[in-house]
Structure 1
Amino acid sequence: MKIKLDYALHKNELVHISQVVNGLDCNCYCPNIKCNSKLIARKGTVNKHHFSHYQTDECAGAYESLLHLMAKDILKNKKEIVLPGLQFHDDIYDQSIVYISNTKRVKADSVRLEVSQGDFQPDVVMEFGKKELFVEVAVTHFIDQEKIKKIEKKDVSVLEIDLSDFRNGFDKQDLIEAVIDSTDNKSWIYNSLEDSLIRNYLANKKIEKENKEYYDKALEKAKNDKRIKSRINGYRIIKTKNYYSICCPKIIAEGANKFQSNEIIEKLRKGSRWNGIIYGHTGQSRYVFIDKDKYEIFPSDKNNNLSPIETSQKRKIYGQLSRLKGQAALDFEECEKCIYFNGYIEDKEEFVCKFKK
């Protein structure tokens, strides 16, 4: 279905149907330069006001030509445009598509239309001081490879504006937004600054990587130095990563004084280290590590070769440690308020506790 024309050419200027008189006296012509036939303004009382060809068939290219002319006219009058950012696929550092230039609004000193460049002619030439930007408007026909090669030889940036979404009609304000403000429908066919922008980006990424590597090494050394110094001073390094809570060594040492003495309880009273974890499951051997030494505190069902007295003693130790664990369990953030807290080594994952006996 052919779209009825709301605009036409009058003295080489685009005019809206509302701006002209009815009939042939409008003195308007088809916007398609290949046609350029006389148009008649139909401003009746039944149908929507529009232009139609006078004594010729309706022109198939009139509407697309109108969009071209309208877009160029908008750029000429506004003398500004929002440029999209320039993308680059970084397969060296980030392994992703990154922006090497940002979206920005630019104001032109002048705008010229259909200026020959020798072997090609851009729709619009926008001038910014001594620099130029070519703008191509596309509705159904987009820039081909042959023209791209000619553009690259000229070494002038070229932006293509895709107006294919307006093939079935347009509102002028929407068209202005698409031509001037939007970036979703704009793409760089060629950008004369691309090579230098890529070089700068890669150079900065290299420096950033080197700085990060140096920082990471320095940070790791500082962490290791703090671990070594803490161990020399007899302090405890408590890991919080993957734990909902930690067992406070001060509560363990003090709590052990309240239980009947045995080999493990005696060690804990003297300040031996226990992480508060009882390993093993129901039916299996239960054991703990005290100062990195493994102690079985309850035998498995399959290997219960203990005497009733020994079994009772093991059960008692298991019960003592279970209760002690419950008493000493703290949210590790509570440790930050403790006088023995000596700061994190790894942020919220590892800290130094100065408690010792």
Structure 2
Amino acid sequence: MKSRPMVHGLLNGDIIQIEDVESGLKCNCICPECGSRLVAHKGEKVIQHFKHYDKTEIESCYESAIHLASKALFAKHKEVRLPNLKVFIPELGYNANILQEKKYKISKVNVEKYLIDFKPDILAEIIVKSKGETKIIPLIIEIAVTHFVDYNKLLKIEKSKISAIEISLKDVERIMDDDDLWFEIQNPVNIKWLYNNKTQNLIEKKINTIRAIEENREKQRIMAEISNENYKLKLKKEGYLLLKIYKGRKEYIGTTVDEYIFTGKIYCPKQNNTEIDRSICEKCLFNHGDFKNSNEDFFRIICGFKNNRLNHNE
């Protein structure tokens, strides 16, 4: 990209746009980057811009001027536009838009404030209203002209757990004044999320939910195995392995334990075949409920066992 015109300089320590100063050296401005004197080129036949008085123009000077001017504009307007935020977790089959593009008011703008081990361009405190509540949420704003946030800085941002956006002005070739600059700063095309704490919390919550489900399934599987082994031991201990369970309810529905024992079609190691103890049947694992007789004056327990004595052929 060709050299872009610098339209901001420092006057008495404050960033100022070229249209607000006098022409030539009378502007009394210096370069925000190198501190050299600037000449204000203003006229009807030229695009207004600053040039160094005694040195060649370099891109880093333009970048520093844009950085300072951007920070000043955030402090002036006290608002920021946040882009759409989508979350896609293919492993969990989760895809959702959790934040719509929207402007937020800023309560405070902190410039060049250190956060433990790094210094963001801007640390803003934005006002978020949700469900009748007003919260102040920190937001890191990075301005990228020629240098973008690298991997190491991104890791530091993630470690801070503070949401961050990056505004790219790399491809903006014509910024003539503060209005042009503010338009590009608010242009959704130039804004992207670097990190969002809400997204990270949501992802962690989803992952923890999946893990909990998997752990519960594994626990149930283990308990089922234990239960199955204990059940086999119980049957063996009580002699129930001599019996065969009905495969379907239709094979025993309407038939009472009384009738089975009376006809000799059932063998129960706990019962006397001539005298039935109902309490034993009520506690039995294979009690399938009560059967009401035709006179509806008493109930009989439906038995889920079928005679399987080795010396009996059905």
TM-score, length-normalised on structure 1?
0.50
Aligned-CA RMSD value: 2.7
Q: Distance in 2 between matches of 1:201 and 1:161?
A: 30
Q: Distance in 2 between matches of 1:188 and 1:144?
A: 14
Contact kept in structure 1, 2:16 and 2:69, CA below 8 Å: no
1:62 corresponds in structure 2 to 61
Q: Provide, for residues 22-63 of structure 1, a one-character-per-residue CA deviation record: whole Å limited to 9, x for no partner.
A: 22221101132xx12111223356533332111222233222
Identity %: 34
Q: 1:185 aligns with which of 171, 182, 190?
A: 190
SS of the equivalent of 2:59 reads coil
Alpha carbons of structure 1 residues 89 and 119: separation in structure 2 relative to 1, 3 Å: same
Q: 1:112 aligns with which of 103, 110, 113?
A: 110
Q: Distance in 1 between matches of 2:7 and 2:105?
A: 29
2:237 corresponds in structure 1 to none
Q: Distance in 2 between matches of 1:102 and 1:136?
A: 20
- Residue 198 (structure 1) shift: 4.0
The yes-or-no answer on 1:156 pairing with 2:157 is no
Q: Distance in 2 between matches of 1:135 and 1:63?
A: 19
Alignment of 1:1-357 (within 5 A): 1-32=2-33, 35-44=34-43, 46-91=45-90, 97-128=95-126, 130-166=136-172, 168-171=173-176, 172-180=178-186, 182-198=187-203
Q: Provide, for residues 219-251 of structure 1, a one-character-per-residue CA deviation record: whole Å limited to 9, x for no partner.
A: xxxxxxxxxxxxxxxxxxxxxxxxxxxxxxxxx
Question: What one-letter code is carried by the residue in structure 2 that aligns with 1:147?
Answer: K
Question: What one-letter code is carried by the residue in structure 2 that aligns with 1:87?
Answer: K
Alpha carbons of structure 1 residues 11 and 197: separation in structure 2 relative to 1, 3 Å: same
SS of the equivalent of 1:61 reads helix
Q: Distance in 1 between matches of 2:45 and 2:83?
A: 44
Aligned length: 199
Q: Distance in 1 between matches of 2:114 and 2:82?
A: 23
Q: Distance in 1 between matches of 2:29 and 2:174?
A: 20
Contact kept in structure 2, 1:80 and 1:106, CA below 8 Å: yes
Q: Distance in 2 between matches of 1:200 and 1:104?
A: 25
2:240 corresponds in structure 1 to none
Q: Distance in 2 between matches of 1:92 and 1:10?
A: 55
Q: Distance in 2 between matches of 1:178 and 1:3?
A: 15
Contact kept in structure 2, 1:138 and 1:163, CA below 8 Å: yes
TM-score, length-normalised on structure 2?
0.56
Q: Give the unaligned 5+ runs of structure 1.
A: 205-357
Contact kept in structure 1, 2:7 and 2:175, CA below 8 Å: no
Q: Give the unaligned 5+ runs of structure 2.
A: 127-134, 210-314
